[in-house]
C-alpha cells in the first residue's frame, strides 16, 4: 500500500514536471492546444463536481462558462477596467448568476433538473444574443487583451496551468471534505440523507454554485486566451460538449473529466486536419462508449487493469 | 396595436404552433411511453426537411408531387425512427437516464454530419405546391394559403392522433404501456414491438411536420439543435407525455413568439425560455402533466 502511495506521488511529480517543462519542448501550436486543454479540463472537472459527485446532470453549464467569459470581455472592453479586476469579478458574477438560477434548479430531481438547467442556460444565451448594447450580440466582443506578461504563448500557458492547478487542488479538497462526502451520500440516497438531518437542497445548491463558479473561471481564462467571446459559448450544445468530456473520461473518477477534455480537444485538432466530419467521428465514439463502456475511458482502463491482475494471480 | 397586424401575427403564430405541435407530439409520446428524452428529435426534423427537398425534385413540384413527397418523407422518417429504436435506443432501456441522453446526443452529432455529407452546406429551400399558392384576403392585407393549410394539417394530425390513442386497439395498448410497462408486459402484450411502433409513430409525425415546414423554412445546418430546444420547451410546458399539453403549449409558444417579436423584438427569444423556466418552477411536471412521474 505504502509503495503504491509513493509511486502515485512520484507520478504526480512527474506529471507536474512534464507540464512545467512543456513550453521548452513544444512551442507554438501544441502549446496553445495544451493551454486550451487546461482550460477545458478545469471546466469539465468543475462540471463533474455536480455530475459525478452530486449526481446532477446540468445541461446549462455553458451558460455559466459564458458568464465568466463575458464578464472579463465586458469589463475590459466596454467598461475599460484593468484586466486583474475584471478577471477577479468573473467568478463573483458567475457565482451570483449560478446562485439565483441554481436556487430553483436544485429543488428538482432527475430529468426535470436537467431540463431546467437547460432552460436557464438557454435564457443566458438568449440574453447574450439579444442584448446587443452590452454584448454586441452575434458579433461577439473581440480584442480582449491580457497584460503583456500573460499574452505570450508561454505566459498564457503558465498562467492557465497555475490557475487550473490551484482550482484542481481546491476541487480535491472539496471532494475529500465532509461536504464532498455528504454530496456523495445525497447522490447515492437522497431520502436517507435527508432523514439523518442534512439540508439536502442547501448542499445541492452549494455544489451547484461551486461547480458553476469553476466553469466561470474557465470562461474567464478562455476570453483573454482566445481574445474574443461569442454567444455560441452559452449555447446548449456547448453544455453537451462538457457533458461528453466528463463521460468520455469517466465521471466517477476525479481526473477522468480532464482526461476526457484532453482526448476531445486533441482529437478535435488532429482529426479536423483530415476530415471536416469531426462531429461524426465524435458522435460515433460517444455512441460506442455508451453502448460498450458506460464508465468512460478511465472505467475501461480500470476494467482492463483488473482483468490483467486477475490473470496474473496464480489460479 | 393595429387590429390587422394583430390578426396577421396571430395567424403566423398559429402556423408556427402547428409545426411545433406536430414535432412535439411525437417527442412527448416517445417520452411518455418509452421514457426516453430524444435529443435527436430535432435531427429527425432536419432530415425530414432535407428529404422533402430531395423527394420534391424526384416527384416534381406539382400538387401530386407535393402529396407523394409528403407521404414519402413521413414513411422514411417512420422507418428511420423504428430503425433507431431497434438498432440503438432499445439497448439502453432501463439503464441510467444519463446513458439514454448521451446516446441521443451522440445521434445529434452523427445525423447532423450525415446531412452535411449528403446535402452539403448550402441551404436547400423548396417552393410551395401550386395549389396552395396565393393569399387569403384578411383585413389590411392577405395571408398565405399555405399557412392556413399547415394550421389545418396540424389540427387534423392532432385529431387523428387523439382518435387513434383514445379509440383504437393500438392506442389502448400504447396508453397501457405508458401507464405501467411491467403489468402490460405481464399481460402478454408484445411490449418491445409496441415501443418500436411508438418510435415509428414519432418519426411519422416529425416527417409530416418537417415536410409541411419545408416550404416555410429553408433546410439549413444547425436547424436541428435550434428546433429541438423549442420542442423540449413545448413538451415540458405542456407536461411530458400529455398530448393535450403539447397542443396547448405549442399554441402558447407559437403565439408568444409572434407577439413577442411585435411587442419587444429584442427579447422575443428570451420570453419563451423565461416562460419555460417559470412553468418548471411552479409546476415542474407541466401544465397537463402528472406529478411524481419519472
Q: Quick one: pLDDT band at residue A1, thresholds 50, 70, 90? A: very low
Burial category of A84 from C-beta neighbours within 10 Å (exposed 0-12, middle 13-18, buried 19 and up): exposed
Which residue has better confidence, A179 or A294?
A: A179
**Minimum-distance CB partner of B105 among A119, A240, A280:** A240
Q: What is the pLDDT of residues A157-172, one digit of tens each?
A: 889 999 999 999 999 9
Q: What is the pLDDT of residues A30-89, one digit of tens each?
A: 888 889 999 999 999 999 999 999 989 999 999 999 999 999 999 998 888 888 899 999
Give dist(CA A208, CA A215) in Å, integer.
11
Q: What is the pLDDT of residues A119-131, one digit of tens each?
A: 899 999 999 988 8
Identify whether A191 is part of a domain: yes
Identify whether B278 is part of a domain: yes
Give dist(CA A219, CA B150) in Å, integer.
43
Give the residue from B14, B27, B44, B34 showing the smallest Cα distance to B246. B27
Q: Quick one: pLDDT band at residue B294, thresholds 50, 70, 90? A: very low
Most B CBs within 10 A among A110, A115, A187, A235, hence the mutation to make, goes to A115
Identify whether B31 is part of a domain: yes
Identify whether B58 is part of a domain: yes
ipTM: 0.82
Percent of chain A with pLDDT over 70: 97
Q: Which domain holds residue B162?
A: 3-282
Total domains, chain B: 1
Identify whether A45 is part of a domain: yes
With 60 as the cut, is the pLDDT of residue B70 above it?
Answer: yes
**Grid cell of A180 as nine digits:** 464532498
Chain B residues whose beta carbon lies within 8 Å of the beta carbon of residue A104 = 277, 280-281
Residue ranges of chain A whose CB lies within 8 Å of a chain B CB: 57, 104, 108, 110-112, 114-116, 118-120, 122-123, 126-127, 129-131, 235-237, 240, 243-244, 247, 276-277, 279-280, 282-284, 286-287, 290-291, 294
**Grid cell of B5 as nine digits:** 397586424
The angle at the Cα of B217, spanning B82 to A124, to the nearest 5 degrees, equals 85
**Minimum-distance CB partner of B270 among A127, A235, A286:** A127
Give dist(CA A122, CA A111) in Å, integer.
16
With 70 as the cut, is the pLDDT of residue B293 above it?
Answer: no
Give dist(CA A156, CA A227) in Å, integer.
12
Most B CBs within 10 A among A237, A282, A293, hence the mutation to make, goes to A237
Q: Quick one: pLDDT band at residue B71, thresholds 50, 70, 90? A: very high
CB contact under 8 A, B101 and A114: yes
Identify whether A177 is part of a domain: yes
Question: What pLDDT is attached to residue A88?
Answer: 93
Q: Quick one: pLDDT band at residue A2, thresholds 50, 70, 90? A: low
Choose the weakest-confidence range: A92-101, B213-222, B247-256, B263-272.
B263-272
Question: What pLDDT is attached to residue B181?
Answer: 85
Helices A29-48/A236-249 angle, 10° precision: 90
Identify whether A160 is part of a domain: yes
Residue with cell 426535470: A112
With 80 as the cut, is the pLDDT of residue B92 above it?
Answer: yes
Give dist(CA B47, CA B206) in Å, integer.
9
Chain B residues whose beta carbon lies within 8 Å of the beta carbon of residue A57 = 98, 101
Q: In angstroms, how far is the first alpha carbon of chain B from the final one?
A: 44
Residue with cell 501550436: A29
Helix (H) or strand (E) holding A138: none
**Other C-beta atoms lying within 10 Å of the C-beta of residue A205:** 19
Identify whether B293 is part of a domain: no
Choose the weakest-confidence range: A254-258, B1-5, B170-174, B219-223.
B1-5
Identify whether B292 is part of a domain: no
Identify whether A245 is part of a domain: no
Give me the helices (H) in chain B, please: 3-34, 41-59, 63-87, 97-119, 145-167, 169-179, 181-186, 191-213, 223-238, 243-263, 268-282
Question: What pLDDT is attached to residue A313?
Answer: 66
The answer to whether B120 faces chain A, any CB pair under 8 Å, is no
Total domains, chain A: 1
Most A CBs within 10 A among B87, B273, B291, hence the mutation to make, goes to B273
Strand, coil or helix: B138: strand
Q: Which domain holds residue A90?
A: 26-234
With 80 as the cut, is the pLDDT of residue B98 above it?
Answer: no
Chain A residues whose beta carbon lies within 8 Å of the beta carbon of residue B270 = 123, 126-127, 130
The answer to whether B232 faces chain A, any CB pair under 8 Å, is yes
Question: What pLDDT is attached to residue B292?
Answer: 62
With 60 as the cut, is the pLDDT of residue A283 above it?
Answer: yes
Choose the weakest-confidence range: A153-157, A303-307, B50-54, B190-194.
A303-307
The answer to whether B87 faces chain A, any CB pair under 8 Å, is no
With 70 as the cut, is the pLDDT of residue B63 above it?
Answer: yes
**Minimum-distance CB partner of B109 among A130, A276, A279:** A279
**Minimum-distance CB partner of A282 among B109, B267, B276:** B109
The answer to whether B275 faces chain A, any CB pair under 8 Å, is no
Handedness of CA A104, A106, A112, A117 (dihedral sign): positive
**Minimum-distance CB partner of B91 among A108, A123, A291:** A291
Q: What is the pLDDT of residues A264-281, one digit of tens each?
A: 888 888 887 788 888 888
CB A115 within 8 A of CB B236: yes
CB contact under 8 A, A280 and B109: yes
Identify whether A272 is part of a domain: no
The enclosing domain of B82 has a CATH number of 1.10.3470
Which chain B residue has the Cα nearest residue A243? Answer: B102
Percent of chain B with pLDDT over 90: 48
Give the residue from B82, B192, B91 showing the smallest Cα distance to A287. B91
Pairing state of beta strands B135-138 and B141-144? antiparallel
Average pLDDT over chain A, rounded to an integer: 87
- pTM score, two decimals? 0.87
Give the residue from A55, A220, A239, A35 showing the smallest Cα distance to A144. A220
Identify whether B83 is part of a domain: yes
Question: What pLDDT is attached to residue A248?
Answer: 83
Which residue has better confidence, B148 or A4?
A: B148
Cβ-count burial B170-198 (b if 16+ within 10 Å, e if not): eeebbebbbeebeebeeeebebeebbbbb
Residue with cell 458579433: A139
Give dist(CA B20, CA B11) in Å, integer.
14
Identify whether B19 is part of a domain: yes
Chain A residues whose beta carbon lies within 8 Å of the beta carbon of residue B98 = 57, 247
The answer to whether B138 faces chain A, any CB pair under 8 Å, is no
With 60 as the cut, is the pLDDT of residue B24 above it?
Answer: yes
**Minimum-distance CB partner of B103 among A235, A280, A290:** A290
Average pLDDT over chain B, rounded to an integer: 88
Compute the nearest-CA separation of A170 from chain B (Å): 27
CB contact under 8 A, B117 and A286: no
Amino acid at each position: 500500500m505504502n509503495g503504491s502511495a509513493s509511486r502515485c506521488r512520484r507520478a504526480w511529480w512527474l506529471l507536474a514536471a512534464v507540464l512545467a517543462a512543456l513550453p521548452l519542448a513544444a512551442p507554438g501550436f501544441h502549446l496553445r492546444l495544451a493551454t486550451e486543454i487546461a482550460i477545458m479540463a478545469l471546466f469539465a472537472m468543475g462540471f463533474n463536481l455536480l455530475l459525478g459527485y452530486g449526481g446532477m446532470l446540468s445541461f446549462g453549464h455553458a451558460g455559466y462558462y459564458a458568464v465568466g467569459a463575458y464578464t472579463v470581455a465586458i469589463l475590459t472592453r466596454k467598461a475599460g477596467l484593468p484586466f486583474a479586476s475584471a478577471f477577479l469579478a468573473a467568478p463573483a458574477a458567475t457565482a451570483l448568476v449560478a446562485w439565483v438560477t441554481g436556487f430553483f434548479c436544485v429543488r428538482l430531481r432527475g430529468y426535470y433538473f436537467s431540463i431546467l438547467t437547460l432552460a436557464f442556460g438557454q435564457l443566458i444565451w438568449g440574453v447574450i444574443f439579444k442584448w446587443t448594447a452590452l454584448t454586441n450580440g452575434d458579433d461577439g466582443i473581440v480584442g480582449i487583451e491580457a497584460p503583456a506578461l500573460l499574452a505570450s504563448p508561454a505566459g498564457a500557458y503558465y498562467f492557465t496551468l497555475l490557475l487550473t492547478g490551484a482550482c484542481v487542488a481546491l476541487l480535491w479538497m472539496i471532494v475529500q471534505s465532509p461536504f464532498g462526502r455528504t454530496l456523495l451520500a445525497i447522490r447515492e440516497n437522497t431520502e436517507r440523507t435527508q432523514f439523518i438531518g442534512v439540508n439536502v437542497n442547501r448542499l445541492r445548491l452549494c455544489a451547484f454554485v461551486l461547480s458553476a463558479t469553476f466553469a466561470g473561471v474557465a470562461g474567464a481564462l478562455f476570453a483573454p486566451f482566445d481574445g474574443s467571446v461569442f454567444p455560441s459559448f452559452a449555447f446548449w450544445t456547448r453544455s453537451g460538449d462538457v457533458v461528453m468530456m466528463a463521460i468520455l473520461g469517466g465521471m466517477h473518477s476525479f481526473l477522468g473529466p480532464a482526461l476526457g477534455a484532453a482526448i476531445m480537444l486533441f482529437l478535435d485538432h488532429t482529426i479536423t486536419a483530415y476530415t471536416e466530419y469531426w462531429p461524426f467521428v465524435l458522435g460515433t465514439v460517444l455512441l460506442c462508449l455508451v453502448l460498450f463502456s458506460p464508465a468512460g475511458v478511465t472505467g475501461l482502463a480500470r476494467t482492463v487493469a483488473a482483468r490483467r491482475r486477475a490473470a496474473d494471480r496464480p489460479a | 396595436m393595429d387590429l390587422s397586424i394583430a390578426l396577421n401575427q396571430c395567424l403566423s403564430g398559429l402556423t408556427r404552433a402547428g409545426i411545433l405541435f406536430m414535432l412535439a407530439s411525437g417527442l412527448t409520446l416517445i417520452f411518455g411511453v418509452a421514457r426516453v428524452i430524444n435529443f435527436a428529435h430535432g435531427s429527425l426534423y432536419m432530415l425530414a426537411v432535407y428529404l422533402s427537398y430531395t423527394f420534391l425534385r424526384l416527384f416534381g413540384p406539382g400538387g401530386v408531387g407535393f402529396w407523394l413527397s409528403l407521404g414519402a418523407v413521413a414513411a422514411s422518417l417512420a422507418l428511420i425512427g423504428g430503425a433507431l429504436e431497434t438498432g440503438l435506443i432499445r439497448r439502453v432501456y432501463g439503464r441510467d437516464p444519463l446513458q439514454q441522453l448521451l446516446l441521443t446526443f451522440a445521434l445529434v452529432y452523427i445525423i447532423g454530419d450525415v446531412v452535411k455529407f449528403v446535402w452539403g452546406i448550402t441551404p436547400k429551400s423548396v417552393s410551395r405546391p401550386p395549389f396552395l399558392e396565393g393569399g387569403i384576403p384578411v383585413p389590411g392585407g392577405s395571408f398565405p394559403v399555405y399557412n392556413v393549410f399547415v394550421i389545418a394539417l396540424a389540427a387534423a394530425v392532432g385529431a387523428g392522433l387523439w382518435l387513434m390513442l383514445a379509440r383504437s386497439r393500438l392506442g389502448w395498448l400504447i396508453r397501457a404501456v405508458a401507464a405501467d410497462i411491467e403489468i402490460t408486459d405481464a399481460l402478454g402484450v408484445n411490449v418491445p414491438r409496441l415501443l418500436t411502433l411508438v418510435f415509428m409513430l414519432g418519426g411519422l409525425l416529425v416527417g409530416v411536420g418537417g415536410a409541411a415546414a419545408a416550404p416555410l423554412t429553408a433546410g439549413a445546418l444547425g436547424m436541428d439543435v435550434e428546433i429541438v430546444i423549442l420542442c423540449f420547451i413545448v413538451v415540458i410546458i405542456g407536461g411530458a407525455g400529455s398530448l393535450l399539453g403539447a397542443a396547448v403549449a405549442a399554441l402558447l409558444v407559437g403565439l408568444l413568439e409572434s407577439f413577442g417579436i411585435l411587442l419587444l423584438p429584442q427579447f422575443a427569444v428570451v420570453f419563451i425560455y423565461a416562460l419555460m423556466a417559470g412553468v418548471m418552477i411552479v409546476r415542474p411536471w407541466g401544465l397537463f402533466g402528472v406529478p411524481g412521474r419519472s
